[in-house]
Amino acid sequence: MRIRAGTAADVDVVLALMDEAVAWMVARGQTGQWGSEPISGKQSFVEHVEEWQRGGGLRIAETDDGEPVGALIVGERQPYVREADEPELYVILLVTSRRSAGQGIGGALVERAVEEARAQGVSLVRVDSWAGAPRLIEWYEEQGFEAVERFQVGDWEGQLYERRI
């Protein structure tokens, strides 16, 4: 596996990975993360991915033969979380192919974010997720993050994590 910078052509890759993740979560009865409809049909989300890619924060994990198996977007904190007291790198999006589950792709993408934070001289990486999936919270803790606070966005409850490096 390798991780490379994303391009405008990779917006569709991110959307396909997101659609796959949504379908997997819906099949498990977990619609609280991203809903029950394909993300690719949500124009506002498509525009966000395009904007994040233009900002330079998109990374694509792919197999040695070039098959995309994950995506990471890093950048500025999301407006729905409190501002950090120090400079940070924020993981805006992290998604992996469910077909490649258990291969360490998500962990490798997290480590890529940590490496980028170090290269920028930043010692704080933050990320958020849906608070309604205990296994997801455990996974972030296994990656070295600490669950620091919950927050609400309308009816959606989120969990904010921090990792000091």
Domain count, the chain: 1
d(CA 86, CA 1): 33
User: What domain range includes position 154?
Assistant: 2-164
Domain holding 117: CATH number? Answer: 3.40.630.30
Residue 122's SS3 state is coil
Cβ atoms < 10 Å from Cβ of 96: 24
Mean pLDDT of the chain: 94
Burial class from Cβ neighbours inside 10 Å (0-12, 13-18, 19+) for residue 52 reads: buried
Instruction: Provide the CB-side half-sphere exposure for 71 (13 A, CA).
Output: 24
pLDDT of residue 114: 98
Question: Which residues lie closer than 8 Å to 10 by C-beta, 6 or more apart?
Answer: 53, 58, 60, 68, 71
Question: Which residues lie closer than 8 Å to 20 by C-beta, 6 or more apart?
Answer: 97, 98, 99
Residue 32: band (very low, low, confident or very high) from pLDDT cuts 50, 70, 90: confident
- Residue 123 near residue 86 (C-beta atoms within 8 A): yes
List phi, psi (to 5°) of 128.
-130, 160
Say if residue 164's pLDDT is above 80.
Answer: yes
154 DSSP 8-state letter:
T
- Residue 16 near residue 40 (C-beta atoms within 8 A): yes
Say if residue 124's pLDDT is above 80.
Answer: yes
pLDDT in tens, 55-101: 999 999 999 999 999 999 999 999 999 999 999 999 999 999 988 87
pLDDT of residue 149: 96
Residue 153: band (very low, low, confident or very high) from pLDDT cuts 50, 70, 90: very high
